[in-house]
Amino acid sequence: MVPTLKYKNTFPVEGGNFDNAGVISLQIKNIIRDMGFPDDIQRRAAIAIYESELNIISYARAGNINVRIAPHLICIDAADEGPGIEDIDRAMKDGYSTANDRIREMGFGAGMGLSNIKKCSDKFEIISETNKGTHLKILIDIN
């Protein structure tokens, strides 16, 4: 049975545009709050979306974050047109980063993004193809 959606939207993310970092995650956090979801669900969704936004902005030409909210589930799909991830196991380790100096000088690129997303997810899947892009599938169970 497919759950009834309470909210659905797709947000484009422009690669390299750090001025907009966090805009989508804040917007979704506010929507989830206004729907009456608990603080921990708001926090987990906001972190997962924020880290997904930053990854697209930092590494890809462009991407989209698709958010679907059902009564007991938040589904987040973040897909980008970027270089892909060569070694997913390595990229999942805390502190591993391929960020360049420019990204690090802005205070990003600490190598915690993917592991933070996984910690905030009840189910997390990463699909990546070198020179094509990366797709993150994130589920947060509200039960």
Domain tally, the chain: 1
The candidate with the shortest Cα–Cα distance to 52, out of 142, 131, 126, 129, is: 126
Q: Please give the angle made by the CA atoms of 96, 117 and 127, to the nearest 5 degrees.
A: 80
Write out pLDDT tens, residues 100-110.
Answer: 888 888 888 88
Residue 62 lies in a domain: yes
Whether pTM exceeds 0.75: yes
Residue 104 lies in a domain: yes
d(CA 105, CA 124): 29
- Domain of residue 40 covers 15-141
Residue 119 lies in a domain: yes
Predicted confidence band at 12 (pLDDT cuts at 50, 70, 90)? very high
- pLDDT of residue 41 exceeding 60, the answer is yes
**Whole-number pLDDT of residue 98:** 85
d(CA 11, CA 64): 5
Residue 121 lies in a domain: yes
Residue 69 lies in a domain: yes
Residue 4 lies in a domain: no
d(CA 107, CA 91): 19
Residue 22 lies in a domain: yes
d(CA 38, CA 88): 32
Residue 10 lies in a domain: no
- pLDDT of residue 2 exceeding 60, the answer is no
CATH number of the structural domain spanning residue 58: 3.30.565.10
